[in-house]
Amino acid sequence: MKQHRYEQIAKALGERITSGALSIGDSLPTEAALCKKYRVSRYTAREALRRLREAGLITRRPRAGSTVTAAGTSTAFSLPLSSAADLFRYATDTRFVIQRRERIHAAGEDLAVLGCRRGQAWVRLSGVRRKPGIAIPLCLITVYLHESLAGLAKRLPRSAGAIYPMVEQELGVRIARIDQRIEAVPLGEPQAAALGPARPAKGTAGSAPAIGLRVRRYYFDSRDRLLEVSDSLHAATAFAYEMRLRRD
């Protein structure tokens, strides 16, 4: 496993941040200093800093240099959202591993999530979302597809990226609106086990209340027909939901 030069540098700097040697507000070495220290070209030093910025650890400004903005230890993953494009990109560099695939008729808990008429036919896909190379899944996820998408559901590979563009293509419609609902919920034992790495041991129930962040998304077409619902459950210790609102 060859590690690239810029990865080594990014890793070294990242560890100085996560270990606390550099804390929030501190400055990192300038590009010129990194070039000299590691004997690399400016391209390589910039690439290392670029990765750190994309990881949300630092910000960079001309003349001010690179500044630590997050300790990195708190939440391992965050979902920066400023548009549906981000939603899509998040989905494309993670993979939806489908573990179950069923036809259902809305009832019980499913009905509560869907909010449709009782008995309406849907396809339910459940599984986890993974980031390649990382053992712990990012979240547990259940996707409901409208019965008119049963054909698509069958053809879906065991491991898929974003769903809603496929829905658009399948039906030839446009997703015109996405409603989101975010809430904090307690995690059950099996859920916590699936999402958490090592729980602090000592199975004395309730010692460390496992907390989750549940995100539900409802996808509507231009005539307000509900086509898809996704329900994902993240470990609160490893996930924060970020979004950006712009005003032009």
Partner DNA sequence: CCCTTTTAATTGTCCAGACAATTGTACAAT
Partner DNA sequence: ATTGTACAATTGTCTGGACAATTAAAAGGG
By CB under 7 A, residue 206 contacts DNA: no
Within residues 57-96, the interface with DNA by CB under 7 A covers 60-66
Binding residue for DNA, selected from 223, 244, 246, 247, defined by CB under 7 A: 223
Write the DSSP string, 96-142. EEEEEEEEEE--HHHHHHH-S-TT-EEEEEEEEEE-TT-SS-SEEEE
By CB under 8 A, residue 126 contacts its own copies: no
Within residues 147-166, the interface with its own copies by CB under 8 A covers 165
Residue 196: DSSP 8-state: -
For residue 73, the SS3 value is coil
Q: How far apart are CA 19 and CA 15, in angstroms?
A: 6
**Rounded to the nearest whole angstrom, what is the least distance from the CB of residue 245 to its own copies in the complex?**
4
φ, ψ of residue 215 to 5 degrees: the values are -120, 120
Contacts of 168 (CB under 8 A, 6+ apart): 174, 175
Binding residue for DNA, selected from 17, 44, 123, 140, defined by CB under 7 A: 44
**Rounded to the nearest whole angstrom, what is the least distance from the CB of residue 168 to DNA in the complex?**
20
β-strand pairing of 77-81 with 58-61: unpaired
- Which window, 29-37, 86-94, 96-104, 193-201, contacts its own copies (CB under 8 A)? 86-94
Q: Per-residue x/- mask for its own copies, residues 87 to 116, rule CB under 8 A?
A: xxx--x-------------x----xx--xx
* Residues at the site binding DNA, with contacts judged by CB under 7 A: 2, 4-7, 30-32, 39-44, 46-47, 49, 60-66, 223-224
